[in-house]
Amino acid sequence: ADLGGIELSLTAITPEQAATASRTGALDASTRRNLMAAKAASTTDAVAAVWLQDEPEEGKTLRGAVERKEKAHYGVLSVDGRKVLAVDVVPADEGFVLLAVVARAAGPAVLSWSLSSTGTVGVARAARLPDEVVGTPVFTRIEGRPALWFVGRRGPGVRLMRDLGEGFVAVVDAARPVAVTFTGRERPILRCKAETVLPTSGATLADPVRLPDGFPESGVLVRDDEGAVWAAWVAPRKGTRDPGGLRALRLGGRGREEPLRLTDEPDILAMDVAVVQGRPCVAFVESITAKEGRVLVADLAAGEVYEAGLPNGPFRRATWVVGSASPLLAISNARGSLAVVAVGGDVRALFDGG
């Protein structure tokens, strides 16, 4: 991959095109694609997204987009999408930072690009990771700047790299033989062997917490403002005795606590968890038919589930938007489009999959 810069041509999407996309779900049916690993972030006046996209002939591409004042720009980053291990976008002092971990012959590297709210992309900066990656690397922010947690193969061990102003540098390299992988985004959590997790707090790891019995790999975890860890997962249907559905539990309590039974529908396509306005919340897509789903939000602390305010549609994934003062979700659908919407239904931006 060319690490010296980026070849990107950004094309404006007019408000009229965006309105058409809101009605049809795609700007151009010929460019409908499968959006993967879509992440979004917002500032006071703009919203940006980055995602991996399936291509019929090219394999995968890494794409970015930004919307401000009803004008959206999007383009392709000069990285082989097949070698991308993780992507993210975070707010910055001026605009955003696009982030990716890529596999290279000389060893994995973290790449970063500045992205202005008007669509200007800076030259790529690269930093080699000190170790091979095990599991999933996770981007976050520490003291307002991008950071990367991952499990390294040696040991295995826990690694933390931070952008301190001149690019990413390694700041934590600690042996953790029980480490498996990181999960989460703004508040990463280290999953370990023996059904335990270690939440992060800034640049440190907090005390271990035990997971509930049978907690699946697809479950999600988040640390709330008080330092408590919440777990949410989809319980499978067990005959007529238990219909299955979304379950949640505040970890670390005394005794054997029963999980919260939030729904009785196990056909959930995807989940994402974050602390939203001080409360741990799960956004998820519940399948209604083979082609239609609805977006729901579960407030774990209150034990309540409510609709996100969107009509049912061909939705496949909903993720929380980082940096938003009000709740925003990035929602991808089966038609190859990505919408960023306010919980309640107001569309902030919609990017075509092409």
| Residue whose structure tokens are 């049912």 | 312
Q: Is residue 101 within 8 Å of 151, Cβ to Cβ?
A: no
Q: pLDDT of 33-91, one tens digit each?
A: 567 778 999 998 888 989 888 877 768 888 888 888 777 787 888 889 999 999 999 99
Looking at residue 345, its pLDDT comes to 55
Of 11-15, 71-75, 233-237, 336-340, the poorest mean pLDDT is in 11-15
Residue 217, pLDDT > 50, answer yes
Q: Say what the pTM is.
A: 0.85
3 state DSSP class of 336: coil
Residue 290, pLDDT > 90, answer no
Q: pLDDT of 121-179, one tens digit each?
A: 888 999 999 999 999 999 999 999 999 999 999 889 999 999 998 889 999 999 899 99
- What's the full length of the chain, in residues? 354
pLDDT category of residue 330 using cuts at 50, 70 and 90:
confident
| Residue whose structure tokens are 């917490």 | 209
Looking at residue 159, its pLDDT comes to 96
pLDDT category of residue 10 using cuts at 50, 70 and 90:
very low
Name the CA dihedral angle for 153, 155, 156, 158, rounded to a multiple of 10 degrees: -100
DSSP string, 78-121: EEEGGGEEEEEEEE-SSSEEEEEEE--TT--EEEEEEE-TTS-B
| Residue whose structure tokens are 């973290």 | 110
Q: Which alpha helices (DSSP H) does the chain contain, by range? A: 15-24
Q: Is residue 248 within 8 Å of 282, Cβ to Cβ?
A: yes
Residue 114, exposed/middle/buried by CB under 10 A (0-12, 13-18, 19+)?
middle
Looking at residue 33, its pLDDT comes to 53
Largest CA distance in the chain: 60
